[in-house]
A and B are shown apart, each in its own frame.
Chain A
Amino acid sequence: MLLGKKKEKDVEIPSASLADIVFLLLIFFLVTTSIDTEKGLDLVLPPPNDQEVKIPKKNIANLFINASGEAMLDNEIVEVSQISRIIKDKLFENPLLIVSLKTHKDSDYDVYIHVLDQLKKADSKRISLAEPDEE
């Protein structure tokens, strides 16, 4: 063989341009990264085939939203922006209060989010989403 062991050359990968290559990669990842995290309102749905739990009536606040975006809390029409205050008072009286939120099928999602936001503002942790009535 011609390739003798003695023929040792200084084999070296040129590393002068390494910094430039890494720079390029860095710029690529800088551009593609979007740091902004998604924001929104959290909610945990109840698990499926959940047994119905009987809740004493005094611990439930019924909140309905109708198709034209009006809210009704315990048979009284309320302003959406007032819900947090009312629920806060109710929670103060009864910390076990569960808000049962029922929406009409034609009501807008917008109103629902506003109501949910109001409930979050009132620190209401126990929210129940009632299934809408079938027509």
Chain B
Amino acid sequence: MEFKKNVKIKLAIPTASMPDIIFMLLIFFMVATVMRTYSGLKVKLPDADKIQKLDVSKRHITTIWVDKDQNIVMDDITVKDVKDLRNLAYLKRADDPQLVVTLKADRLAKMGLINKVHQELRKGSALNINYAATLGGF
């Protein structure tokens, strides 16, 4: 045979560009990270089949939690009176026209309250809403 065992090729993965690759990854994750997260309220979301992803980035999302004891929390603010939602929503909407309000309400929340939330959001011109739900038909 022509090939001999002692023809040894030095095998090494070039590591010179590794920092560049890591830098790129770093920048990607830095851009993708949104720091603020809110603890919200403990809710059991309803389930639905036709759920879709929100097509806006997390930056434009404001969350309203409504739990089964009729407590309302918007992002990090506890809303004492439903009517306060109007101003809060209005201010958020003024800051960010692309605002989407995600409603995370408990399955046992009453529609009376949810309807009031709807009305307040309308008056606060936050019109794009999204009902958070988990996948799973019934």
Q: Are B54 and A81 in contact, with the CB atoms below 8 A?
A: no
A-B contact count (CB 8 A): 148
The answer to whether A32 and B35 have CB atoms under 8 Å apart is yes
B79 in the interface, Cβ–Cβ < 8 Å? no
Chain B 5-45 interface residues, beta-carbon cutoff 8 Å to A: 18-19, 22-23, 25-26, 29-30, 32-33, 35, 37
CB distance from A63 to the nearest CB of B (A): 13
B22 x A105 contact (CB < 8 A) = no
Which residue from A30, A34, A40, A47 sits with its C-beta under 8 Å from B132? A40
Q: Mark A17-43, 1 if CB is under 8 A from B, else 0.
A: 011001101100110111101111111
- Interface SS of A by simple majority: mixed
- What residues on B are CB-neighbors of A121 within 8 Å? 49-50
For the complex, what is the distance from the CA of A133 to the CA of B114, rounded to whole Å? Answer: 14
Residue of A26, A43, A81 touching B138 (CB-CB under 8 A): A81
Which residues from chain B sit less than 8 Å from chain A, CB to CB? Answer: 18-19, 22-23, 25-26, 29-30, 32-33, 35, 37, 46-54, 58, 61, 66, 102-103, 105-112, 114-115, 118-119, 121-123, 125-135, 138
Query: Which A residues fall within an 8 A CB radius of B?
Result: 18-19, 22-23, 25-26, 29-30, 32-35, 37-48, 65, 81, 103-110, 112-114, 116-117, 120-121, 129, 131-132
